[in-house]
Amino acid sequence: MNPVFEFDAKLWQWEAKSGPGWMFVTVPQDHSDQIKEMTPLRNGFGSVKVNVQIGDSEWSTSIFPSTEEEAFVLPIKKAIRLAEDIGEGDSARISLEALIT
């Protein structure tokens, strides 16, 4: 059974060299540490596949380790932000299932 983590997190925008970039939330440090321990062999860029739910929206994606945040970060795609009416600085309740292989 895959572990599920629930938490509240604020959306923030990564600034790319070419202008506004992706929107993310940071997975809390304790959850990030647990996921790192459970996934010694990770995918490209150290990513971990996950299933995510925010409100009524569910999707599959990956979380990525961030040296700046010292935790995993979760990209929140535009379609989800529009569907859930959330944007930069807003807090969202997130359910994240880490797909441990």
Residue 7: its pLDDT value, please? 98
Tell me the domain boundaries of the chain.
Answer: 4-98
- The DSSP secondary-structure symbol of 46 reads G
- Fold exhibited by the domain 4-98: Elongation Factor Tu (Ef-tu); domain 3 (2.40.30)
Residue 46: its pLDDT value, please? 83
Residue 95: its pLDDT value, please? 98
Are residues 55 and 91 in contact, defined by beta-carbon separation less than 8 angstroms? no
Torsion angle, alpha carbons of 80, 34, 14, 85, to 10: 20
Q: What is the pLDDT along the chain (101 residues), one digit of tens a residue?
A: 899 999 999 999 987 666 567 899 999 999 999 999 888 666 667 899 999 999 999 999 999 999 888 999 999 999 999 999 999 999 999 999 999 86
Are residues 11 and 24 in contact, defined by beta-carbon separation less than 8 angstroms? yes
Residue 22: its pLDDT value, please? 86
Distance CA 38, CA 32 (A): 10
Are residues 12 and 81 in contact, defined by beta-carbon separation less than 8 angstroms? no
